[in-house]
Each structure stands twice: as C-alpha cells, then as structure tokens.
Amino acid sequence: MGFDIATGEGQSLGIPLSFGGPYLGFMAVKNELVRQMPGRIVGATLDSEGKRGFVLTLQTREQHIRRHKATSNICSNEALCALRAAVFVSLLGKNGLKELAQHNFQKSEFAKEQLSAISGVQVKRSSPTFNEFTVLLPANADQVVHKMVDKGFACGFPLGRFYKGMDNYLLVTVTEKRTKEEIRRLADSLEAVL
C-alpha cells in the first residue's frame, strides 16, 4: 500500500482472549528501513496506582539479559503468539483472510441495522468502520452492559469508563464467530433492557 511503517494488533489471528493477554502486536517497515528499527521501544505509562512506569514494547525484558542471568521466562510468550498467528493464517489459505474480513464486515453491518432499529439507539457513523463501531444509547452504557450480562450477552464496552462525557456510548465489535441469529437475539435483548 506504499506506507513506510505499518503497525497492528494480531489478537484476532487465532489467539484466545485469555483474560487480557498475552497478545500479539506487529510492525512492518519497507525493506530500506529495516536496519533503522530500534532493538526495543520503551513507552511511558501509569500503573493502576497512578505511578509512572516504563514498558518494553518491541521486545520483552528477558531478551536483552544474558540467558544465564535471566531469572524468569514469564514474558516470553511472544513466540507462541506468533506461532499461533502463523498457523491460523496458513490454515485460512490464500483467500481465507479476505473472506474472513468480509464475514466480519458484513456481520458488523447487519448488527448496525439491527441495533439502529431500536428506539432511542443511534449507531454513530462519523467515519468508516470495519467490525467495530460506536452506539449511543438512551441510558447509561455501563448499567446496560451489566443488565445484558444477566441476559447472557457481553454486548460491548462502555466508553464512559475512559472518556468523559461518553457515559451513554457503547463500543460494539462483531466478528465471524457471531451468527445472524445471535445478533438478532442481542438486539432483542438490548431493546428489552432499554
């Protein structure tokens, strides 16, 4: 596509949710830039107590310690994640990834139709989407999510948890794993909760 650098998230390439990780990120560059890639990228962040911390985002902490001095391999699941993704993509075959993406997109569009048919629900359409989109609910999204769990649905992520003023916004993702019947039941249950 002509980009100098591309990055992405590979969790959806056959890697289970696993309660938050380990996951797979990827980075690609043009051939002429490969030698300029850093050995590791350190990012600044805040921990759950608000204290500043640093994380290695391109290589794990054990990779730059001599093997005989390393005390654990707790961070070395990246190779396993990469292997899982490679097996997954190879099993999809030459056209499988495109077909998989089409399923995701079509089911997401179907979910948008079903959810926007509910009175008071607005599917936000400010930009193109793939299989993830935002919905404005007529009620607090966090409360709606809890009620939907009682009905057997993990219906989305309430954006108000991280973004001020977005208490009624819900981030919804639809993948190839959901059937149209499941999407219809989700919409029916959401309508009943609202």
Q: How far are the Cα atoms of 91, 140, 171 from residue 27, in angstroms, in the given order?
A: 22, 37, 25
The percent of residues in the chain predicted with pLDDT above 70, rounded, is 85
Give the helix, strand, coil percentages of the chain, each rounded to 5.
40, 20, 40
Average pLDDT over residues 134-154: 96
What residues does each domain of the chain span? 5-92, 96-193
Residue 87 has phi, psi (to 5 degrees) of: -65, -45
Q: With bands split at pLDDT 50, 70 and 90, how would you rate the model's confidence at 60?
A: very low
Which of 95, 100, 129, 96 shows the shortest CA–CA distance to 112? Answer: 129
Q: How many CA atoms lie within 13 A of 184 on its CB side?
A: 3
Cis peptide before 22 (omega within 30 of 0): yes
Protein fold of 96-193: Aspartate Aminotransferase, domain 1 (3.90.1150)
Q: Is the pLDDT of residue 8 over 50?
A: yes
Question: Model confidence at 58, in pLDDT bands (50, 70, 90)?
Answer: low
Kindly report, residue by residue over 67-113, the tens digit of the pLDDT.
555 544 445 567 788 889 999 999 999 899 999 999 999 999 999 99
pLDDT of residue 149 exceeding 50? yes
